[in-house]
Structure 1
Amino acid sequence: MDEILIPIVAIVALFIVFPGMIFHYITLWRKQKTLMPDDERMMEDLWRSARAMERRIETLESLLEQSEADSPRRPPRSSRPTFDD
């Protein structure tokens, strides 16, 4: 009986169990490539925060330009030295 059982188990494992495991993990891998709903919500919140920060920065820049235009003793912003390395 053992002489017949071992080859049958080996064939079933080789042609059914191993491919099934491989396809199972491929499916999990593909599912993880997409964004989860929590990730999408987090990205949307980050996008809104970035847009709000961009609007605030634009407002600050326009206020700075107005104050520079009102103050004649300061050189224009474009002629100031920059410290970029």
Structure 2
Amino acid sequence: MDNLTGILIVACIFVGLPWVIMHYITKWKTAATITTDDEALLEELYQLAKRLDERMDTVERLVASDNPDFQPPRLQHDRSIDNVPLRELEEMLAEKKGERA
């Protein structure tokens, strides 16, 4: 009976314990990733933000055309420095789509 107990203890230490550890490591890694639903929601929110930015530019141009003294608080329409974050995000989205293909 002592040999059986020793074999069981060794099996638990060298087989069971690493299996449990690897199992939960895998669970933690999969839980930390973004789901496809989350990606779709982020894409939709990005498109909405882009449309709102374009609308805001249009409103600022219309007000500026009616009132020459108007100085918009935001950066001027279509200045390259104003659109840097959008370009970076578009590049990331393009890379992500390229990985899927």
Q: Same fold (TM over 0.5)?
A: yes
C-alpha separation in 2, matches of 1:12 and 1:5: 10
- Where do residues 2-41 of structure 1 align in structure 2 (5 Å cutoff)? 3-41=2-40
Percent identical pairs in the alignment equals 31
What is residue 82 of structure 1 aligned with on the other side?
none
Q: Specify the code of the residue in structure 2 equivalent to 1:43.
A: L
For normalisation by structure 2, the TM-score amounts to: 0.62
Computed over aligned residues only, the root mean square deviation of the Cα atoms, in angstroms, reads: 1.5
C-alpha separation in 2, matches of 1:25 and 1:4: 31
C-alpha separation in 2, matches of 1:5 and 1:49: 66
Give the length in aligned residue pairs: 71
For normalisation by structure 1, the TM-score amounts to: 0.71
Q: Specify the code of the residue in structure 2 equivalent to 1:19.
A: P
C-alpha separation in 2, matches of 1:41 and 1:35: 10
Q: Is 1:77 aligned to 2:70, yes or no?
A: yes
Q: Specify the code of the residue in structure 2 equivalent to 1:26.
A: I
- Where do residues 34-49 of structure 1 align in structure 2 (5 Å cutoff)? 34-49=33-48
What is residue 53 of structure 1 aligned with on the other side?
52
- Can you give the 5+ residue segments of structure 2 that lack an aligned partner in the other structure? 72-101
**Runs of 4+ in structure 1 over 4 Å off:** none
